[in-house]
Amino acid sequence: MTMESTMELDDLKQAWQALDRRLQQHNAINLQLLTESRVQKAKSSLRWLLAWSLVQVAFGLALTVFSAIFWTGHMDSIALMLSGIALHAYGVGLIIIGVMELLLILRIDYAAQVVTIQKHMTLLRQWRLRSQRWLGLSQWLLWIPVTLVMLDYWLGLDVWAHSPATVCWFLATGTTGLLATLWLMYWSPSALRKRVGDYLDDNSTGFVLKRAQRALDEIAHFERE
């Protein structure tokens, strides 16, 4: 009979406790506790995250106000009005996403029970990934209203009135880019999708979201007896 075949979890406690003693004596992990630079680094990374969410909310507010004023003043031109409304909707989206992120970040309390906080953090991760993905995808079309609004705002040039074909060409280009990206993300062969995911570090594909969902399922399973 081998050693492994008779091994029980309780037998391993002794070996584990011996490792614990060795770990405490070992100098490989030197807890340079509370060194100022380390604490500052942790503080600044959190501050950076909070600052980014605040900037996003502030930008969303400015965009919402600007575009609301813009489209209500251009109701005589359908293309400019629709462009303003699209930017208005994008601004509102940025505010919602930013506020949600702020609330989720501020609610993280590592001293809470493990299952509770892990669920909360996985939800935050899922929310961020989803929102980033949709914000990213929208860029394929968003540049069109931005271009139309800015040309009118700065140069007084209504592109749609001068050349509707140009706007149609913009729309065709944006839609093609969007469809191609969606194809890569959802419908392309899995090997290609994996390669794209690796290239983009998974952030723009569904892999990370699936992993977050798996983590949520795992937590739910763990909570059940």
Partner 1 sequence: MDATATMTADMQQAFGELLQQHRGIVFKVANTYARDAEDRADLAQEISVQLWRAWPGYDPARRFSTWMYRIALNVAISFLRSDGHRRRHAVPLDEVVHDLADDSAADHEADEQLRVLHRFIATLEPLNRALLLLYLDERSTREMAEVLGISESNVTTKIGRLKQRIRDHVAPPGNA
Which residues are near partner 1 by CB under 8 A?
2-5, 7-20, 22-24, 26, 28-34, 38-39, 42-43, 109-118, 121-122, 125, 201-202, 208, 211, 215, 218-219, 222-225
CB of 203 to partner 1, least distance (A): 9
In Å, how far are 3, 4, 96 from 16, measured between CA atoms? 16, 16, 48
- Copy the structure tokens of residue 79: 């293309």
Closer residue to partner 1, CB minimum distance, 23 or 69: 23
Closer residue to partner 1, CB minimum distance, 123 or 146: 123
Closer residue to partner 1, CB minimum distance, 77 or 118: 118
Closer residue to partner 1, CB minimum distance, 2 or 190: 2
CA distance 64 to 57: 10
CB of 131 to partner 1, least distance (A): 17
CB of 215 to partner 1, least distance (A): 6
The CA-to-CA distance between both ends of the chain, in Å, stands at 34
Show the DSSP H helices in the chain as ranges.
9-25, 36-73, 78-106, 114-150, 159-162, 164-182, 190-199, 206-223
CA distance 34 to 224: 38
CA distance 216 to 222: 10
Closer residue to partner 1, CB minimum distance, 16 or 154: 16
- Copy the structure tokens of residue 161: 């009135």
CB of 49 to partner 1, least distance (A): 13
CB of 220 to partner 1, least distance (A): 11
Classify residue 188 as exposed, middle or buried by CB count within 10 Å of its CB (0-12, 13-18, 19+): middle
